Structure 1
Amino acid sequence: MLKPSIAQKRADFRALHQSGCFVLPNPWDLGSASILATLGFKALATTSSGHAWSCARADGYSSREQVLEHMRQLVEASHLPINADFESGFADTPQAVAESVRLAVETGVAGLSIEDGTGDARTPIRSLPEALERIHAARESIDTCGGDTLLVARAENFFVGLPDLDDTLRRLKAYADAGADCLYAPGIRTREQIQAVVNAVAPKPVNVLIGWPSELSVQDLADIGVRRISVGGALARAAWGGFLQAARLLAEQGRFDGLTTTPSGSELNTLFGQPPEL
């Protein structure tokens, strides 16, 4: 099968946001991306945390160059559209955000997110005027670079421990007006919170993060009006969970029963021996 062009992947990705609801799982390396591509998903998204852990780094400690290279590898390997967790743009000023976004677009990603968090626990959220300048800069950079890369704007209130729904809605509406194509408030959990976000920015699509056990199903979220669902670092945490359990049993108790639920080598060789198109 011929791999679609970057333009085609971006067009396909935009089309997914027009109606219905799709799951956007988050691989952390080429192997996990390959497996997810065999399961029928229509697009994939990077995870800053999952990728950082795979490189023996804590989330938030990857450089722009490291993240861009990871994005480039996934885009080049995969026939699926890739959405990038581009954190806060790896930049302090709107001008630098624009340059970072230009570099991100050049990797061939079909979408990228810019968040309004600072990474500083003392002042974890940027002021709305500053955050808006950065979204405007990202929008202008995408428009100037050409290509139909999707711009996702994230309001980080709930994610950084400031669960102010009114401020979250105010920010998301402002980001939508500033040119964001898709809106995202990681950390909201209840049906009422999700419905409020969907209503506030309609008709623009909303991404919801489900990174924990939830009573809501994909169908529930679709019924609310959510367009796409991501899981962030949850799949990576699940993989690390199995690894840690087996390794700790071996190190602390000399037991091998943590290895019993792992796939066999032949199963993995079958999956990867003749790799399908990612």
Structure 2
Amino acid sequence: MTADPPAGQDRRLTRHADVRAVLADPRFLVPAAPAAQPVAVRPGTGMTWLRGAVSRFSNGAEHTRRRARAVGLLDALDPARLRREAYDRTRAELAGEACVEVMTRIARRVPVGVLATRLGVPEEWREEVVAAVTAMAAAYHLPPAADASPTGDAADAAVGVLGASLGVALGEGEAPEPGLLAAVAGVLIQACDATAGLVGNALAAVTRMPADLALRWPVEVLLAETLRWDPPVRLTRRVAAEDAMAGGVPVPAGAVLVLDLAAANRDPEVFPDPHRFDPSRFDPARFDPARFRQGRGGGGGHLGFGDGLRPCPGERAALALAAGIVEAALGHRLADSEIPYEPSPNLRVPARLCLQDPERLQAPNELQDPRECGRTSMNTHAETFPASQAADSRAPHSVDSRAPHPADFRALHHAQRPLVLPNAWDHASAAVLAAAGFAAIGTTSLGVAAAAGKPDATGDTAAETLALARRLTGLPCPVSVDIEGGFADTPQGVAEIAAELARMGVAGVNIEDGRPDGTLADLGERCETIAAVKSRAPGLFVNARTDTYWLGAGDRDATLARLRAFAEAGADGVFVPGVAEADDVRALVDAVDLPLNVLFLPGRHTVAGLAALGVRRISTGSLLLRAALHAVTQTARAVAAGEEIPAGLPSYADVQALVAADADSVLDQS
């Protein structure tokens, strides 16, 4: 099954083939415009009218007619001219200072401004219209409050600003025809946040690459891989107009499908090594701009501009504008490795991204304080992914991403010192560990089960584990997930779950051989499961765990036999929790040519001691959860007894900053 369990009536599709099939199926419609209060709406005024007049929220013949008008406006534009103007305006912005905050100064202002003037907005209205479109874009998907006046907020007024600017272009006293205003507004709104996200995400990736490597590829190729690897548009939705099938499961009429475009773009069945930022997927030797979405995996291309019946009509213009901006910024580098993102469940748009020109700095390694670039952004409530505070303990990452490349996780098992892998049980615990600088995060099955009010190791927490995994892939470090025995009765079933995790962006999994009754699973069956997982998700790091020591179900020889069999089956690492004696640890290290993972035992182990024995990965297991539970009771008792509370606790604001906004909206895609 390729769809998630329903959340309410919503189902999520993540496989590339399933998402494309729905986008091409006329039985699945876009959701209607957000509901508004039943008030009289005058054509050409306010957001309520605009939502009801654009192609974005319409279906059928009405959508075809409205889309054709928008396409007509866009087809009249010269992409080469758009690109040249975007390049010139970006160079002018970058030339003024050594450090420039791109998202405020360039990412929206340049593409919206260039496109607006080409669509008829007078030059003197450029900046006012850019501000108006930004306000409209922020409110595009949000229904008005129950007590709000239909023309009483900034977005409603912004519609009037755009109309007035077009009226000036048409002639004195003439107002734009409502259909024209709706078409121009729809085009500009769709060029606002999504194009800003494409520009920001491309620059975040490209400016981290060595300069000679970034210049090796045409800008179009860099943008194509950005649209696949880190697309600004993450999700879109469709509503079933009638009973249908999607992702191999029945979808009743009225059910909502969430199409995970970002996950589909990292489907290993379509894109080999999908979590790697690799522009060579769009090989310049055979690159065809007319088929910009042509992928390399043989199963279709990226879904950065949608697909099927309603691909984004502004693809050509957006690529031209983004190409001009990125081309102008090549040679600059990030001033601050911390990139905050605007809080949205559906869009990925940097809130602030500062670029510095190395040639304008006094010394090659003397970076200007990024705070001097200006921290104002279109949205100040941003989710920040902190930079590592322990850079010496982690392997280098070529590019930070929402789902780091699994090869980075693999490299952490072969670094100078062992990988200390703390195990989290929810988003907050994982986020605080990532913020503390740990190179990777694992999950603890006991913690996930306890948080759900269930016992551990019973195979009853598959839904909770998958839901947590999906949230944790937003962290700026690799994530490994404990899937107990695999949450399925067959090797193929386990492999499907592992493949689903890989599509989410998970870097590794833990698979154990211990069973709820205290015995060990059949060795042949476990090896078959490991082989099936590696076949289905070859990029996933499989850490094969044996519970011989943990359950007291086998001696050293039995353990060695299992580890060798796991290695033969294709495991990437082996895990033996419960082993304590140095001689046993050394024997296990010598037994197989794979990284050995050991569970940290307080009072028995030290990181330095395990490193000296050759251990490559040290997990905390449920230790952190148990420590947190102890802290909870100790703090509560201190409050009750009037005792002093320990210093150094995170503030309310600190915790708020760790979590992403959960507000829902409908994605900006025609």
TM range (shorter): 0.7 to 0.9
In structure 2, do the counterparts of structure 1 residues 27 and 8 end up closer, same or farther at CA, with 3 Å as the change threshold? closer
Cα distance in structure 1, aligned partners of 2:542 and 2:572:
5
Paired residue secondary structure (1:160) = coil
> What are the Cα deviations for residues 70-118 of structure 1, in whole angstroms up to 9, with x where unaligned?
1111112x01100111111111111212222222222211111111122
- 1:196-235 equivalent positions in 2, closer than 5 A: 196-202=587-593, 204-210=594-600, 212-235=601-624
* Maintained 8 Å contact 1:9/1:80: no
Matching residue within 520, 527, 533 for 1:125: 520
In structure 2, do the counterparts of structure 1 residues 84 and 38 end up closer, same or farther at CA, with 3 Å as the change threshold? same
- 1:18-57 equivalent positions in 2, closer than 5 A: 18-20=414-416, 21-57=418-454
Q: C-alpha displacement at 1:275, in angstroms?
A: 4.0
- Aligned match of 1:242: 631
In structure 2, do the counterparts of structure 1 residues 59 and 256 end up closer, same or farther at CA, with 3 Å as the change threshold? farther
Matching residue within 436, 441, 462 for 1:64: 462
* Maintained 8 Å contact 2:534/2:540: no
Cα distance in structure 2, aligned partners of 1:60 and 1:132:
19
- Aligned match of 1:96: 493
Cα distance in structure 1, aligned partners of 2:403 and 2:435:
22
Q: C-alpha displacement at 1:247, in angstroms?
A: 4.5
In structure 2, do the counterparts of structure 1 residues 114 and 273 end up closer, same or farther at CA, with 3 Å as the change threshold? closer
Q: C-alpha displacement at 1:40, in angstroms?
A: 2.1
In structure 2, do the counterparts of structure 1 residues 242 and 107 end up closer, same or farther at CA, with 3 Å as the change threshold? same
- Aligned match of 2:411: 15
Query: Identity over the aligned pairs, expressed in percent?
Result: 39
Max Rg structure: 2
Cα distance in structure 1, aligned partners of 2:453 and 2:633:
14
Cα distance in structure 2, aligned partners of 1:164 and 1:115:
17
* Maintained 8 Å contact 1:6/1:110: no
In structure 2, do the counterparts of structure 1 residues 276 and 40 end up closer, same or farther at CA, with 3 Å as the change threshold? farther
- The answer to whether structure 1 residue 140 and structure 2 residue 535 are counterparts is yes
Q: Name which of structure 1's ranges 163-172 and 176-185 shifts more when overlaid on structure 2.
A: 163-172
Cα distance in structure 1, aligned partners of 2:628 and 2:570:
36
Stretches of structure 1 that go unaligned for 5 or more consecutive residues are none
- Aligned match of 2:178: none
> What are the Cα deviations for residues 170-192 of structure 1, in whole angstroms up to 9, with x where unaligned?
00111011100011111111111
The residue identity in structure 2 corresponding to 1:38 is A
* Maintained 8 Å contact 1:27/1:236: yes
* Maintained 8 Å contact 1:26/1:47: yes
Paired residue secondary structure (1:158) = coil
In structure 2, do the counterparts of structure 1 residues 235 and 129 end up closer, same or farther at CA, with 3 Å as the change threshold? same
- 1:72-111 equivalent positions in 2, closer than 5 A: 72-76=470-474, 78-111=475-508
* Maintained 8 Å contact 1:182/1:205: yes
Cα distance in structure 2, aligned partners of 1:97 and 1:196:
30
- Aligned match of 2:654: 271
In structure 2, do the counterparts of structure 1 residues 40 and 128 end up closer, same or farther at CA, with 3 Å as the change threshold? same
- 1:143-162 equivalent positions in 2, closer than 5 A: 143=538, 148-162=539-553
TM-score (norm 2): 0.37
* Maintained 8 Å contact 2:404/2:476: no
Q: C-alpha displacement at 1:68, in angstroms?
A: 0.6
The residue identity in structure 2 corresponding to 1:19 is A
The residue identity in structure 2 corresponding to 1:228 is R
Q: C-alpha displacement at 1:133, in angstroms?
A: 1.4
Q: C-alpha displacement at 1:205, in angstroms?
A: 0.8
Specify which structure has the higher proportion of helix: 1
Q: C-alpha displacement at 1:263, in angstroms?
A: 4.6
In structure 2, do the counterparts of structure 1 residues 52 and 268 end up closer, same or farther at CA, with 3 Å as the change threshold? farther
Cα distance in structure 2, aligned partners of 1:132 and 1:152:
12
Stretches of structure 2 that go unaligned for 5 or more consecutive residues are 1-337, 340-384, 386-399, 661-670
Cα distance in structure 1, aligned partners of 2:604 and 2:555:
22
RMSD, aligned α-carbons: 2.3
Q: C-alpha displacement at 1:276, in angstroms?
A: 9.5
* Maintained 8 Å contact 1:35/1:271: no
Paired residue secondary structure (2:598) = strand
Question: What is the number of residues matched between the two proteins?
Answer: 262
- Aligned match of 1:171: 562
